[in-house]
Amino acid sequence: MGKKQRDCVACGAPVGYLDREHCCRCWRSLKEQAAKASCPSCGKDRVLRADTGRCVVCSRVCEECGHPVRVAGNRLCRDCRRRAEREAAKTLCPRCGRPGLVREATGWCGSCSRPRQQKQPPRVCGECGQLRRHAGLGLCSACWQRHPGRPFIRGEHLRDRLVDPPGWLDDFVAHVAARHCVARACSFITEVGRLLQDELSNSPQALLERSRRPGRSMGTFARTLEDFFTLQGLALPTDQAERLAAGRRKRRVDAAPEPLRPAVAAFDASRMRAQDRARRAGTRPRSNLTLEAALATMRDLAVFLTDQRGKGDWALVDVHDIEAFLATLPRARKRRLTVLRQFFGFARSQRVILVDPTRGLTAKEGNGYRGRTLTLDQQRHLFRRWTCNDGAHPHEALLGMLALLHCASSSEVRMLQVTDIDPATQTVRLGKRPHPVPLDPASWAVLQRCLAHRAAWPTQNPHVMVTKGTKGGRSPASTAYLSHVLDDCGYPPRTVRGTRLVDLVNTMDPKLVAAAFGMDPQATLIYLADHIDPTRLPDQPQKRN
């Protein structure tokens, strides 16, 4: 180093070069630091290799898994090196033929060297008395699967596994054990345990929402949970009925042709808003069945206009198109015209059309009863079928006898519960009738037969008519089931009930019939005949010549 020229700006050491401001030591440090960069793997300032773009340490990676290798000269990391050593030490087992560590004592691998668990010797089953393998509680497998204590044992095991078991768990186990078979009850308890052991909320309402299956059916397990939680007052019922109704409405709207579909969808949305307002106001909202029937009519009209009339715009519809559509089903003219008036009134208020094509149309028809009735021979045949023939289903016999003799509707029989029956007086309460209905011996015998059929089911359902789908819950039988109960006899329930109403109204005072059956007085007038029975008129004096 030459003569001192100045002091180093970094450390204060002498600098011997005229064109430098740093000493030799600081100069070398600056040159080394300029050659370094931040390593993308470790983030430290290192000299990066040109081939890998990383530092020397991070450039050494395992050839198998790609993890860093700390020791220079190694091609594998620690885990891969140990794994390779274990694999190299394995040989083929002479017994199973698979690679493994052969034991010196046996000459086999570890799996083959371990002693096999011996099966327990067969014992006499405590239930069936046969010599079979023991499954549990001194029972064979078949008897253990049917043992009524299995759900309670499964519930105790679930309670032991849970950190904080809910207080309603024991009641739920008793609930499913009393209403379902042993296998299904155990599966329901397992499903509840799965829901209680996840990371989500364990409140009854949250469990009920998570148990629902996607699709049109919420599942048997979700229905069982809903029945239990609502019965115990722990959760509110689900909106499954509203979801199904929304799906049915959507399918009807989607079935309309594309050019006419937006107006039908807007019409459906307006009626849904009206239903919600009526429900909140406490008035009588339209039922889902009414809304779906109206959408079905609009779907049929849209398809008719597109296929038969060649029109793809509601503004092009005229009165002749409506008359042609109503002529396709003459008997449904009044009902369809009512829906069309509502739709075109809505369309005109929304400026979809300028002129209402249904304004001048009428549906004049008599209000009399136009349904079918049964002759006396047909009534006698049905009476013998339901009272003397054991081949008829108990549900068919009950609905038929109550409709034939007591004018019971399908909804009244569907909602009939066991608590509505009074064995002492042999009376039942049907629907909204003001007084109990006394049953004749034939009807009472049919009712007892239906109750015996119900007692064969392990059910806690309070209704008299219990089906395979409702025996595990508390809901009544479906409307579709009641509509097909009388299919075997060949007559629908409406025809059987209408026959009895026509006979009573024409032989008695219609007001008395309405008061006895809880009907509106105007409803019974449509069953009056349009002729006068001459035998019921007073004697007329003969005119003298």
In this structure, the number of other CB atoms found within 10 A of the CB of residue 329 comes to: 12
Task: Indicate whether 404 and 468 sit together in one domain.
Answer: yes
541 pLDDT exceeds 80? no
Task: Indicate whether 213 and 244 sit together in one domain.
Answer: no
Q: Is 82 inside any structural domain?
A: no
Q: Residue 214: which domain range?
A: 131-232
Q: Looking at 200, 232, 264, which one is the last position of a domain?
A: 232
Query: 291 phi and psi, to 5 degrees?
Result: -65, -40
Q: Is 515 inside any structural domain?
A: yes
25-31: average pLDDT: 83
Q: Is 63 inside any structural domain?
A: no
366 pLDDT exceeds 70? no
540 pLDDT exceeds 60? no
Q: Looking at 182, 214, 232, which one is the last position of a domain?
A: 232
Q: What percent of the chain has pLDDT over 70?
A: 96
217-232: average pLDDT: 90
Token readout for 199 is: 């990371």
Task: Indicate whether 436 and 298 sit together in one domain.
Answer: no
pLDDT of the residue at 532: 58
Q: What is the pLDDT of residues 95-137, one digit of tens each?
A: 888 898 888 888 888 888 888 777 778 888 888 888 888 777 7
Q: Is 67 inside any structural domain?
A: no
283-294: average pLDDT: 92
6-7 and 91-92 strand pairing = unpaired
CATH number at residue 497: 1.10.443.10
Task: Indicate whether 247 and 301 sit together in one domain.
Answer: yes
414-423 burial, b if ≥16 CB within 10 A, otherwise e? Answer: bbbeeebbee
pLDDT of the residue at 545: 46
- Spell out the SS3 assignment of 338-362: HHHHHHHHHHHHCCCCCCCCCCCCC
With CA atoms as reference, report the closest residue to 404 among 432, 350, 440: 440
Task: Indicate whether 412 and 518 sit together in one domain.
Answer: yes
**Between 118 and 177, residue with greater pLDDT:** 177
Task: Indicate whether 223 and 249 sit together in one domain.
Answer: no
446 pLDDT exceeds 60? yes
pLDDT of the residue at 257: 94
Q: Which long-range contacts (CB under 8 A, 24 or more apart) does 415-418 make?
A: 415/463, 415/476, 416/463, 416/464, 416/465, 417/462, 417/463, 417/464, 418/451, 418/462, 418/463, 418/464
Alpha-carbon distance 144 to 428, whole Å? 43
Alpha-carbon distance 149 to 205, whole Å? 28
Q: Is 53 inside any structural domain?
A: no
Task: Indicate whether 437 and 502 sit together in one domain.
Answer: yes
Task: Indicate whether 244 and 224 sit together in one domain.
Answer: no
Q: Is 113 inside any structural domain?
A: no
Task: Indicate whether 249 and 331 sit together in one domain.
Answer: yes
Q: Is 368 inside any structural domain?
A: no
Token pair 């003219």 in the structure block, residue: 333
Task: Indicate whether 406 and 459 sit together in one domain.
Answer: yes
In total, how many domains does the chain have?
A: 3
517 pLDDT exceeds 60? yes
Task: Indicate whether 332 and 416 sit together in one domain.
Answer: no
Q: Looking at 334, 349, 364, which one is the last position of a domain?
A: 349
Task: Indicate whether 174 and 275 sit together in one domain.
Answer: no
SS3 6: strand
Q: Is 435 inside any structural domain?
A: yes
